Structure 1
């Protein structure tokens, strides 16, 4: 965990529960010293580094150092600015940061995991962010799986391509990211199917792939007969094993299928069932997804303005939950069904433009090629062809 966090857009530094708000030049001066700890800098050195385009006096440095010292008192256990007589100033950084005595307490670690799970289920993105940023204060450290989920949730997809962790820890997330940005869903289905045969894939990931992820891809590749069989098997296993948290997602996925089958009574019945189920399981991501499906229902009924309002409400809920993958999944679903029902609709160009904006922001083209390379290396070892 980092000792000191820099919040550039707010000109803040944060250490544990302490936050210090600085003026622009104070922030720049502290950052310069922080990057060069235990080095002595004269006033002239600091003037050149921080005020290179201005004409301040020597007193400017002294005044800023004075104010910095006062503001940084809450961080005294980590750093301090010392005066070296006749030479200048240096920043001292404490090398040893004392670990919380709770760090080895298994009850604390277990409670943190329960909190994480609850915040995740109910879409409490802000709470997850606080939990992540203050692990040292709360006395625990998130394991690799929880770290992966947090980076995934925030849309920090490039993190998964770094060589700092095992491919098998990140495989599940790489395949999901790939499935959002790869137009050819057959390729995504191929990788999910290959992964099921890999013993190194964590068991929980294998379960979700088997019960849910392949099911949605079977639907979007229009293998409807196979999807129906998988849906029946998934619902039975979820019921037999008591995996109740997966039930709402399974019903939402079933909605995709009934819309493709274009069976009006079945659609109306399933919409009602999903709504009733989400009253029992009010999970934020599932509620946001249901708003998207209510929009699809309106679009199917030729109520395009109403559909658009539901889509926007769903996006808003995903943003409040700080769940970036939800936006990408929803755009995939919206564009898929608009093309299925009425591709000439003005909504198609509206949401296609939104997709292009996301593609630019998250660099889909580069991500796709890099992820595909990783998946090929590890999942296509015996058969390199798709």
Structure 2
């Protein structure tokens, strides 16, 4: 049995007692409940709970201490109000399926279900704007801008106000929002979305948390050859997932050609969102190839691009790549500072999936390309914390089974493109991808 927040009484109602909360204690716990499993820095909590006031960081610590004590008094597991080393605090709550059943764990079940019911109840409010295609497009653009500029709080606002923004009615945005907060369990539990609609996120998550690089590549190949992915995800898989697979498998020749094609295509088709990613991926290629002079040259070019498109995810990635370049040159102190800065930028954005991707990149490079155990130690600890919190080993096995069972098998008559062995390059009019000769 868990506990619930009694809004009228501003109290915790647990299995042993009803424990009253002070106003700020209630607001802090309610805020953490509405953002389950998401870590917040002290200053973020101050802004959320004490807006316009001037408390000190210690204020948060004192309130967390009192909340843990009151949770215990109510008969709840106070350890779920967790300290995130070097970052701040989070409230660990289980994932809940749409039918209200706890998917994993049973802590605070009643509180989480209450939040879910509140969310569902808000769907009954009809907003005439939700029927307007132009408004829906504006909401999508807002979501994409929040992703580009690393504004995870904005994504939360879209997700938590369905009567206004209707994001729950748009499968693409609903799944994308869960992906950005790193909640694969919510995607798996989404019974309103088909496997095909979920497939890109399932593939991406397995790609980054699984330990079998060859199997990840085989899964991508099956999805791409069967044309089962939506057009824009098909394009993204070819332009970014495949080159990343090549890098991890040590096929630098194929990675070089794929990245060159992606950049040329992005420029030719004016895919502004792809250009900085492709330029940064070109830097990563040179690091894997151990051509550090060329990596430095391409990093300068990529950073010039970021003066035009100063998106937080790309700025963080540039800092990480610069840190890896310093690591390759033996400057461990500068490398550590730049790597930490990049990861902190991603934590600050509140987009957990970006943290997972870049931590995996750091650990792969510092393990497989350069063997630098001292430098990778703090990032290994960060990964272990995320893995334990989100059960990466269990999720990887579950995703592997799901993908292997549902992805179409490779066709015997599949046509292999020379540059993308086993991959059919899309040529239909609704997938505007041109591979330069």
Structure 2 unaligned blocks of 5 or more: 20-72, 76-120, 412-437
> Do residues 168 (structure 1) and 156 (structure 2) align?
no
With 117-126 and 166-175 compared, the bigger mean Cα shift is at 117-126
Distance in 2 between residues matched to 1:151 and 1:353, nearest whole Å: 24
Distance 1:141 1:376, change over 3 A: closer
Work out which of the residue numbers 284, 291, 312 in structure 1 matches 2:312. 284
Distance 1:354 1:163, change over 3 A: closer
Match of 1:202 in 2: 230
Match of 2:88 in 1: none
Distance 1:344 1:237, change over 3 A: closer
Match of 1:259 in 2: 287
- With the length of structure 1 as denominator, give the TM-score of the two structures: 0.73
Match of 1:87 in 2: none
Match of 2:422 in 1: none
Work out which of the residue numbers 242, 248, 256 in structure 1 matches 2:276. 248
Distance 1:300 1:22, change over 3 A: same
The CA deviation at 1:357 is: 1.9
Match of 2:160 in 1: 133
Distance in 2 between residues matched to 1:210 and 1:188, nearest whole Å: 14
Count of residue correspondences: 309
> Do residues 155 (structure 1) and 182 (structure 2) align?
yes
- Give yes or no for contact 1:116–1:128 (8 Å, CA) kept in 2: yes
- Give yes or no for contact 1:318–1:327 (8 Å, CA) kept in 2: yes
The alignment's C-alpha RMSD in Å is 2.9
The CA deviation at 1:168 is: 0.7
Match of 1:22 in 2: 10
The CA deviation at 1:308 is: 1.2
Distance in 2 between residues matched to 1:95 and 1:137, nearest whole Å: 9
Query: Residue 225 of structure 1 aligns to a residue in which SS?
Result: helix
The CA deviation at 1:283 is: 1.0
> Do residues 105 (structure 1) and 93 (structure 2) align?
no
CA deviation string 1:333-386 (max 9, x = no partner): 112222245425412333223222221111011101110111111225468xxx
Alignment of structure 1 residues 338-349 onto 2, 5 Å: 338-340=366-368, 342-349=370-377
Query: Residue 280 of structure 1 aligns to a residue in which SS?
Result: coil
The CA deviation at 1:294 is: 1.4
The CA deviation at 1:24 is: 2.8
Work out which of the residue numbers 117, 124, 142 in structure 1 matches 2:144. 117
- Give yes or no for contact 1:178–1:372 (8 Å, CA) kept in 2: yes
Match of 1:326 in 2: 354
Work out which of the residue numbers 303, 311, 329 in structure 1 matches 2:339. 311
Distance in 1 between residues matched to 2:393 and 2:123, nearest whole Å: 43
The CA deviation at 1:21 is: 7.8
CA deviation string 1:173-197 (max 9, x = no partner): 0111101111221111111111111
- With the length of structure 2 as denominator, give the TM-score of the two structures: 0.65
With 99-108 and 286-295 compared, the bigger mean Cα shift is at 99-108
Higher helix share: 1
- Give yes or no for contact 2:320–2:342 (8 Å, CA) kept in 1: yes
Distance 1:28 1:120, change over 3 A: farther
Distance in 2 between residues matched to 1:28 and 1:239, nearest whole Å: 61
- Give yes or no for contact 1:180–1:332 (8 Å, CA) kept in 2: yes
Distance 1:344 1:107, change over 3 A: closer
The CA deviation at 1:96 is: 10
Distance 1:300 1:108, change over 3 A: same
- Give yes or no for contact 2:18–2:74 (8 Å, CA) kept in 1: no
CA deviation string 1:136-157 (max 9, x = no partner): 1356755101111110111111
